[in-house]
Amino acid sequence: MDVGLFGQYVMNGLMLGMMYALVAVGFTLFFGVLNVINFSHGDVLTVGAFTGLATYLGLSAIGVSWAPAQVVIVLLVATTCMAGLGAVIARYLVLPLKAAPALNTLLLTLMLGTVLREAVRLFYPLGANPQRFPPLLPTTAYSFGNFTLRVDSVMLLLAGLAVIVGIHLVINKTKLGLAIRAVAQDEETAKTMGINFTLIVLVTFAIGSGLAAFAGILHGLYYSEINFAMGLLLGVIGFSSAIVGGLGNIYGAIIGGFLFAALQTIGVLAMPFASAYKDVFAFGVIILIMAWRPTGLISEKISERV
Amino acid sequence: MSGGDGNALIVEGVYTAYDKANVLEDVSLRGEPGKITCLLGSNGSGKSTLIRSILGLTPPNRGRIVFDGTELTGLPTHKIIATGIACIPEGRKVFPKLTVEENLRLGGYQEPSADVVRGRLDQVYETFPQLKERKEQVAGTLSGGEQAMVSIGRGLMGAPKLLLLDEPSLGLSPILVKENFNTIQRINEQGVTVFLVEQNVRQTLAIADYGYVLSKGRVVAHGTPEVLGRTKEVHEAYFG
């Protein structure tokens, strides 16, 4: 295969992997602190992307047309709003069900996801149709043979990387991160250290949901289009990535996200005649990995499963 | 007791239940400031439940718990800790995947000043030099004795006024048990009020100022170590 074309696939795979990893980190954080699966996570991403789009339209309407300002404000508003939404979901839907079987939380968040998705479809103007997402980043591109290097893609990749490094630093180098890890390992002992458990759960949900919004904007900027159902597949892929990496481990989730994107890319490269089957191929391999390592690649929390 | 209740731990008529079955029934006791008060009792007598009730992990259904003039009943655990209480839990409960130093730092979680935390860390390392050598090691890989040091050191990191100890000698070798009791005594000599829950009768009574005996969720005897040593309830509570 042509080197340029191969490079193009790699670039695309990295971008996808970044989005999946950002979503997967959310799943794994929620599971870490509360042992729950939040199935509304993908739809929070959708709402985040639409919040970003609405913010852009609002900014244009009041005459803010300088793209760098627009992109920063769009990102800030979307991530902040979804962080708030995540904290509200944790406070009023997830925490009250703490004593109930985990299945109840799963079902409740699944239903909430449907509500969010349908709300976007019904209440956003023409929400049932795909919406054009504005190109807020420089559209300059350099061609090297079959390889086209888009400046905006590079910026998105770097931004995603910065966010992942930022999360790593927060989790490992700050007092907040230490508290999150302590709660994830042993909730009761963490409480007796004087950690405000409820607050840590809310902050963790805020962080995870803010990351989903960021991934949603990334998706919009990269594909120049968003739609009300985008979070459905991204949610399932993010969840699979978190599981295959080993639920509860953020590095596992990041690896899982890039692994899934790599599998999709390999699927396309290996079967150019049937690229529509890339998801079938990727999920199939994930199923095989799970059969081989049922607790994921980097398994966590086995000993705590009493 | 003319000095008022400053710093005292007061438990009054406490009933605590899991799933409606009472584990504690009408438990009343006092931990006097600056003293070592012990609670003896066999397995299943409700000792750990009392610790959980004080910490707000299993809040009592009736009765009240007061420390240093603050009513603890109904407060969330982190606010109970903020009144100056630290706990060295049963089974040590170190965070296995965190390093020794991270474990210790969590003990000082509510202390806002990084300098103060640093100073306390140095103190803990002075008391337990072994921990300093292993500060970057993950706590789950330490020996039982070293984990006990982490657990005690972590409890001291909050500079507590009251230290709750839940069976600190459980699972330790006889030599380490002795060392453990010496450590508890030293901590107490620095002015920390100690509430010690134990099964190890002889060594506990040797260091305690006052003791209570719990059996089937009720206080069946209390008194000075000399009195308790001769009480038949103590023997019954363990061997009856």
pLDDT of residue B186: 92
Q: Report the C-alpha gap between A82 and A44 in whole angstroms.
A: 7
Interface contact A194-B97, CB threshold 8 A: no
Angle formed by the axes of helices A41-61 and A102-123, nearest 10°: 30
Q: Report the C-alpha gap between B10 and B72 in whole angstroms.
A: 10
Interface contact A182-B98, CB threshold 8 A: yes
Residue A189 resides in a domain:
yes
Give the minimum alpha-carbon distance from B78 to chain A in angstroms, rounded to a whole number.
Answer: 4
State the average pLDDT over residues A167-176.
95
**B87 near A CB under 8 A:** yes
CB pairs under 8 A between A and B: 61
Structure confidence by residue, pLDDT tens digits, B143-192: 988 999 999 999 999 999 999 999 988 888 888 888 889 999 999 999 99
Asked if the model's pLDDT at residue B2 lies above 60, the reply is no
Residue labelled with tokens 């049922």: A294
**B91 near A CB under 8 A:** no
Q: Report the C-alpha gap between A96 and A105 in whole angstroms.
A: 9
Residue A298 resides in a domain:
no
Residue of A239, A242, A253, A244 whose CA lies nearest to A297: A244
Residue A302 resides in a domain:
no
Structure confidence by residue, pLDDT tens digits, A184-208: 999 999 999 999 999 999 999 999 9
Q: Nearest Cβ partner of B93 from A175, A189, A196?
A: A189
For residues B162 and B11, the answer to whether their CB atoms sit within 8 Å is no
Residue of A nearest to B154 (CA): A193
Q: Report the C-alpha gap between A87 and A127 in whole angstroms.
A: 25
Q: Which two three-digit tokens encode residue A9?
A: 């696939």
Residue A297 resides in a domain:
no
Interface contact A197-B78, CB threshold 8 A: yes
> Strand B162-166 to strand B36-40: parallel, antiparallel, or no bridges (unpaired)?
unpaired
**B111 near A CB under 8 A:** no
For residues B34 and B193, the answer to whether their CB atoms sit within 8 Å is yes
Average pLDDT, chain B: 90
Structure confidence by residue, pLDDT tens digits, A49-59: 999 999 999 99
Opening angle at CA B183, ends B182 and B186, nearest 5: 90
Q: Which two three-digit tokens encode residue A216?
A: 């949603």
Residue A305 resides in a domain:
no
Asked whether the CA dihedral A167, A168, A170, A175 is positive or negative, the reply is positive
Residue A301 resides in a domain:
no
Structure confidence by residue, pLDDT tens digits, A136-159: 998 888 888 888 888 999 999 999
CATH number at residue A46: 1.10.3470
Asked if the model's pLDDT at residue B78 lies above 90, the reply is yes
Structure confidence by residue, pLDDT tens digits, A30-52: 999 999 999 999 999 999 999 99
Q: Report ipTM for this prediction.
A: 0.92
pLDDT of residue A1: 67
Structural domain containing residue A112: 3-292
Residue of B nearest to A300 (CA): B97
Average pLDDT, chain A: 92
- Which one of A33, A183, A193 would you mutate to disrupt binding with B, by most B Cβ within 10 Å of its Cβ? A193
Residue A258 resides in a domain:
yes
**DSSP code string of A197-265:** HHHHHHHHHHHHHHHHHHHHHHHHHHHSEE-TTHHHHHHHHHHHHHHHH-TT-HHHHHHHHHHHHHHHH
Q: Report the C-alpha gap between B98 and A177 in whole angstroms.
A: 12
| Three-state secondary structure call for residue A136 | coil
- Which one of B78, B81, B117, B195 would you mutate to disrupt binding with A, by most A Cβ within 10 Å of its Cβ? B78
User: What's the pLDDT band for B6 if we cut at 50, 70, 90?
Assistant: low
Q: What is the pTM of this model?
A: 0.91
Q: Which two three-digit tokens encode residue A247?
A: 């639920």
Lowest mean pLDDT segment, chosen from A11-25, A167-181, B15-29: B15-29
Domain count along chain A:
1
Residues 150 through 189 of chain B touching chain A, CB cutoff 8 Å: 154, 158
- Three-class SS of A65-107: CCHHHHHHHHHHHHHHHHHHHHHHHHHHHHHHHCCCCHHHHHH
Q: What are the beta bridge partners of residue B211?
A: B38, B223
pLDDT > 70 fraction of chain B, expressed in percent and rounded? 95
Choose the CATH number for B1-84+193-240 among 1.10.3720.10, 3.30.530.20, 3.90.1300.10, 3.40.50.300. 3.40.50.300
